[in-house]
Structure 1
Amino acid sequence: MPPCSFKPEEYKGMSKEQMMEIRKQNCNPMTMKITYYKKPVFIHQGYMQWLWDVDGKRYLDLFAGVATVSVGHCHPKVTAVIQKQLKKLWHTTNIYIHPELHEYCDKLASYLPDPLKVIYLTNSGSEANELAMLMARLHTGNFDIITFRGSYHGGSQQTVGLTANSSYKFPIATSSGCIHTMCPDVFRGPWGGSYCRDSPVQTIRQCSCAQGACIANKHYIEQLEETFATSAPSQIAAFFGEPIQGMGGAVQYPKNYLKEAYKLVRQRGGICIADEVQTGFGRTGSHFWGFQGHDVIPDMVTMAKGIGNGFPVRAVVTTQEIAASFVKASHFNTFGGNPLACAVASSVLDTIREDSTQHNSLHVGTYLMTQMAELRDKYEIIGDVRGKGLQIGVEMVKDKGSREPLPPEAMSEILEDIKDMGVLIGKGGVYGQTFRIQPLMCITREDVDFFLAVFNKAISGYTDRK
């Protein structure tokens, strides 16, 4: 494991047994279900890309609290800003005018292209996406919203309607008017080839397209057109799309898909919404926002997770025209624009720039993906490696020929081994078949080499046992 000079505090809190009993008796019971491991990880402290458990064991964090801690655990620059603001003002309502809110909104707007300049601050990604749904419907006068199968856009009753993954669906009525179209997945979907996506690593599927053409893109756009023809009214409110699916397993689309989809949506009166909850703030490396990699400008952008490096601040950004439609009733958020949250989020933007984390995401992420592709070629059960920057998915299969998902028990076995060797990663995908690697954007090539050795050993050990 790469060296680390930081010394964590000695843990002197409650026992593991006490924590598990409280988790069982007093915490949301879902927390018992989503504990990844047979032997859970009890986290005590974090610093930059590292986490320590209550026993003092160190872990390399390549999941970042689900792509949320962007610049580093307890980053000194952000921590200093938090401490300074805590001594000055924790909270006041945005009925009053305070500098932190306005300084941050001005700064965030400078990172977005025209005409995306009007900012609404919220507390969660689900709230941001639900607010975007409401604004889209008010502005267009239409109701139906299109999104991809396999998508995840939140856990509130409205956003669960947008979400198209049965793992997050409850047997109750959720938001009506949400229509799910085929996800243009060039690895698992019916069409795809070896030149489809904007990624340093392509699929192993063969491609027979003529230069400048993409048969897969053509067919997936036809599926979207069929959705319009069969499942949606003639006029729609919006199209929601992540530039790269997050919970869906880092799924990428053909290069021109979003550009053509946006055109079709706008022809039907809808607005285009980019869900940048996981892809924003430089994570994809080549651009600050994931939508920029598709050469499109959405009408609205929702953002969360990395915006506050783990602090609860989120946002919706839109145009003056759409914002003007949102004054037919009062909208108020008690904590939206909280001075402490704004100070933290402003510091995160400064740290991304000062630490060159976007540049690091591009170069370290590209190195990680290209090295992972070599492991894909080595092992039959690694079906696909994909992504951009530090938004990476590794799809596991029974064999490359069938592309049938590796079973959940096998995924859990490999994940447990990786954890026991000192690395934390995630998993996702419709069938839980994809390892999600979304590190803190401060990781190094030395960290990557350590992870590659761990991952290789875990896969080798699994295949030897089978």
Structure 2
Amino acid sequence: MTNYIGPKEILAKKKKYIMPCLGHFYQNPPEFVKGRMQYLYDSTGKEYLDLFAGVSVINCGHCNPEITKAVCAQVNDLQHVCNIYLTENFVNLAEKLAQITPGTLQKSFFCSTGTEANEGALLLAQLYTGNNEFIGLRHGLHGRTKLTMSLTGISMWRTDPHPVGGIHFAPNPNCYRCPLKKHYPECDLECANMLEDIISYATADKVAAFIAEPIQGNGGIIVPPKGYFKRVKEILAKHHILLIVDEVQTGFARTGKMFAIENFDTTPDIMTMAKALGNGAPISAFIARPEIADIYVKPGASTLGGNPVSTAAGIAVVKYITEHNLMENARQRGAQLKKGLQDIQRNHPLIGDVRGLGLMVGAELVNKDKSPAADKLDKIVEQMKDDGFIIGKNGIARNVLAFQPPLVINENDINNMLEALESAIKKYE
């Protein structure tokens, strides 16, 4: 058996050598050393069912044999030359993305992280429109660079003490905790309608784009009402403002569609993606309609963007999702997961709300007065880890259990988790 240094030594080295901004889950965190599809293994050999997938990264499963084979074959042939030289995977993956993305999105720019992709999409919107203002959503999260951090509507992720100007925020479509104190559908999508006022009165009429996640991940798995994005797109079109959809966390079959925005019958002008595109390999992209993309003519490159290895992973990911029908599995297992959580909710009011699409599901924990029960969530997540289940947490108050497992998860996996979760809730409610 391999000798691992173990959690205690890792934490000591982390404290000494890693910047303190990087936290970690759990009071007693394990050291993960191995992954096989929907399962993780720690340094003691203990098995865990992974229900977070590295925050929607490992959609096709840990160390997926088919994807690993493609990556290893590419590493043995050619690892890197930079995208200023010609390689085949680079254009073949771009062609695939044009085929599977909605509408007439066609031309891609490859980079390495979701932050980079969002930054590039925002730049492209500025180049195309000639405008320099942006509108984001409260409780959205788009990255850690200066511009993407300034467009992030969650204070805990806005480290920069001097954010970029010209940024405005619209209320997010959270029907459980409506920022406008209204109720759907009687509200007539007032959160979307407010965009009209924001554009007309809060901006200098120089808005390049509105950027939003189709489902807010870090914001607490916030799913908009069905007609929300259609209404938004109508308002934006009236003012010649582009719609950028951030699919970094929601893309690649996670919600039962290849991309989450397809659930809302709306086509973005620019779309970003990362995370699951590489199934663990660092790759991201932004893709746009040709008439928008073709404005980007000044020299632009990303040294590691679209490198042969990452693009080999991307091609294998798209192939695996399609051939193994992961969208259908996400729909079926997601319905099972939501129903199971709702069944628990009926007997345990600690779960205030269950929401999500496909295998992107959140369960918001609340006290009797509907205030966030973050302290109880921490205890439940710790207990579930001890019982062999890895669950995420998010939300503005960090009181939402986040279920974003590998899309290869099966029926028994979810039933076993639900049984353990109800026991943990009974213990700490």
Equivalent positions of 1:58-207 (< 5 A) are 58-189=47-178, 190-191=180-181
Q: Which residue, 14, 17, 35 being the options, matches 2:24?
A: 35
* Aligned 8 A contact 2:7 2:29 in 1: no
CA distance in 2, matches of 1:447, 1:396: 22
CA drift at 1:334: 0.6
* Aligned 8 A contact 1:217 1:257 in 2: no
Residue 201 of structure 1 is matched in structure 2 by none
Matched position secondary structure for 1:346: helix
- Residues 290-338 of structure 1 show CA distances to partners (whole Å, capped at 9, x for unaligned) of 11111111100000111110110001010111112211x2111111120
Matched position secondary structure for 2:200: helix
CA drift at 1:234: 2.5
CA distance in 1, matches of 2:189, 2:264: 16
Equivalent positions of 1:274-293 (< 5 A) are 274-285=245-256, 287-293=257-263
Matched position secondary structure for 1:325: coil
* Aligned 8 A contact 2:39 2:47 in 1: yes
- Residues 144-178 of structure 1 show CA distances to partners (whole Å, capped at 9, x for unaligned) of 11111011111111100110101111251122222
Matched position secondary structure for 2:314: helix
CA distance in 2, matches of 1:114, 1:409: 44
CA distance in 2, matches of 1:447, 1:427: 19
CA gap 1:132/1:171 in 2 versus in 1, 3 angstroms: closer
CA distance in 2, matches of 1:309, 1:171: 30
Counterpart residue type for residue 283 of structure 2: V
CA distance in 1, matches of 2:182, 2:328: 29
CA drift at 1:57: 0.8
Matched position secondary structure for 2:187: helix
Equivalent positions of 1:233-244 (< 5 A) are 233-244=204-215
Residue 314 of structure 1 is matched in structure 2 by 284
Q: Which residue, 186, 210, 216 being the options, matches 1:245?
A: 216
Counterpart residue type for residue 442 of structure 1: V
1:389 aligns with 2:395: no
* Aligned 8 A contact 2:353 2:363 in 1: yes
* Aligned 8 A contact 1:179 1:231 in 2: yes
CA distance in 1, matches of 2:318, 2:182: 37
* Aligned 8 A contact 2:149 2:160 in 1: no
CA distance in 2, matches of 1:456, 1:11: 35
Counterpart residue type for residue 353 of structure 1: T
CA distance in 2, matches of 1:81, 1:409: 43
1:461 aligns with 2:422: no
Equivalent positions of 1:288-307 (< 5 A) are 288-307=258-277
Residue 370 of structure 2 is matched in structure 1 by 403
1:55 aligns with 2:44: yes
Counterpart residue type for residue 309 of structure 1: N
CA drift at 1:14: 2.2
Matched position secondary structure for 2:300: coil
After superposing the two structures, state which structure 1 stretch, 220-229 or 115-124, moved more: 220-229
Counterpart residue type for residue 268 of structure 2: P
Matched position secondary structure for 2:216: coil
TM (norm. structure 1) is 0.89
CA distance in 2, matches of 1:230, 1:383: 36
* Aligned 8 A contact 2:170 2:191 in 1: no
CA drift at 1:418: 1.1
CA RMSD of aligned residues (A): 1.4
CA drift at 1:192: 5.8
Amino-acid identity (%): 33
> Structure 2: 5+ residue runs without aligned partners?
none
| Stretches of 4+ aligned residues off by more than 6 angstroms | none
Residue 320 of structure 2 is matched in structure 1 by 351
CA distance in 2, matches of 1:278, 1:51: 20
Matched position secondary structure for 1:455: helix
Residue 338 of structure 2 is matched in structure 1 by 369
TM (norm. structure 2) is 0.97
For these two proteins, the number of residue pairs brought into alignment is 428
CA gap 1:248/1:217 in 2 versus in 1, 3 angstroms: farther
Counterpart residue type for residue 452 of structure 1: L
Counterpart residue type for residue 26 of structure 1: Y
Q: Which residue, 326, 329, 332 being the options, matches 1:360?
A: 329
Equivalent positions of 1:316-355 (< 5 A) are 316-327=286-297, 329-355=298-324
CA distance in 2, matches of 1:245, 1:447: 25
CA distance in 2, matches of 1:137, 1:107: 26
CA drift at 1:13: 2.5
Q: Which residue, 185, 192, 203 being the options, matches 1:232?
A: 203
CA gap 1:171/1:87 in 2 versus in 1, 3 angstroms: closer
CA drift at 1:106: 1.2
Matched position secondary structure for 1:87: helix
